[in-house]
Amino acid sequence: MKKRLAILILAGFLAGGVSALGLYMLQNTNPGPKQVSSGKALIGGPFKLTEHTGRRVTEEDFKGRFTLVYFGYTFCPDVCPAELQVISAALDELGKKGEKVTPVFITIDPERDTVEQMKEYVGNFHKSLVGLTGSPEEVRAAAKAYRIYYARAKDDTSTEYLMDHASIVYLMSPKGEYLTHFAYGTGVEKMVKGIAKYL
C-alpha cells in the first residue's frame, strides 16, 4: 500500500513538472507582443461625483493641483474623523506649501451621505476640504479606481450601521497620478514630511 502511494505521489510530481514545462515553453515561444510595466501604481482614474456644494465634478476639476484623497463616511465613529484631523493638521503645518494641496473626502456610504450631510460634515475640518458623494454606482466606480475596499458591516440592519473600509490617504499629483500614500495611524509630522518632498 505504501509503495503504491509513493508511486502515485511520484507520478503526480512528474505530471506537474511536465505541465509547468509546457506552460513555460508556450509563454516563451509565443511570438505575440510582450507586456511592459510602466512602473506606475494603478491608483486613481476617472470619476463623476457631486461636491458638497451641489456642483457636479470629475477628476478633471482637480487637475493642476495636488490632492490628498481619502475614502470614508460621515457616520464613522472614530477612524474617519481621526484621519481627517491628521490631514487638516498636516496641511496647516505646511503653511503656504499646503495651499497647493486640496484634501478630498469621498464617501463610501452614499445612502446616508447626501450633499447636505457632506456639507455639514466637512465644515468641521480643514477649510479647503472637498466632500464628494454620488449615486451608489458612481461611488463604486471611484472606489474601484482607487483600489479601495468597502462594505456594509454584516449583522447590522439598523439605520446606525457601520461600514468596513480601507483607511488610506493617497497623495496624487497635479496630473492625477499616484505619488505616495499614508496608512492609518500615520502621524502629522510624518505626513507633513511625506507631502513636502513632492511640493
Q: Tens of pLDDT along 173-195?
A: 999 999 999 999 999 999 999 99
What kind and span of H or E run contains 131?
strand 130-133
Does the pLDDT at position 95 exceed 90?
yes
Q: What is the pLDDT of residues 57-68, one digit of tens each?
A: 999 999 999 999
Side-chain half-sphere exposure of 23, counting CA atoms within 13 A: 6
Q: What is the pTM of this model?
A: 0.78
pLDDT band at 153 (very low <50, low <70, confident <90, very high): confident
SS3 for 137-198 is: HHHHHHHHHCCCCEEECCCCCCCCCCEEECCEEEEECCCCCEEEEEECCCCHHHHHHHHHCC
- Tell me what percent of the residues of the chain surpass a pLDDT of 90: 73
Residue ranges per structural domain of the chain: 48-196
Kindly state the percentage of the chain with pLDDT values over 70: 77
Residue 97 backbone phi and psi in degrees, to 5: -60, -35
pLDDT in the model for residue 10: 37
- pLDDT recorded at residue 42: 86
Phi, psi of 49 (to 5 degrees): -140, 180
Decide if domain 48-196 falls under CATH 3.40.30.10.
yes
Would you tell me how many other CB atoms lie within 10 Å of the CB of residue 35?
A: 5
- How would residue 158 be classed by pLDDT, with cut points 50, 70 and 90? low
Using pLDDT thresholds of 50, 70 and 90, give the confidence band for residue 125: very high
Strands 48-51 and 130-133: antiparallel
Give 8-43 pLDDT, tens digit per residue.
Answer: 333 343 344 433 333 333 334 344 444 444 556 789
> Residue for cell digits 470619476?
47
* pLDDT band of 4, cuts 50, 70, 90: very low
Q: Which residues contact 48 (CB under 8 A, 6 or more apart)?
A: 56, 57, 58, 134, 138, 141
So what's the pLDDT on residue 146?
96
pLDDT at 123 over 50: yes
pLDDT of residue 91: 97
Question: 102 near 67, Cβ under 8 Å?
Answer: yes
User: CB neighbours of 117 closer than 8 A, spacing ≥ 6?
Assistant: 74, 133
Q: How confident is the model at residue 37, as a pLDDT? A: 44
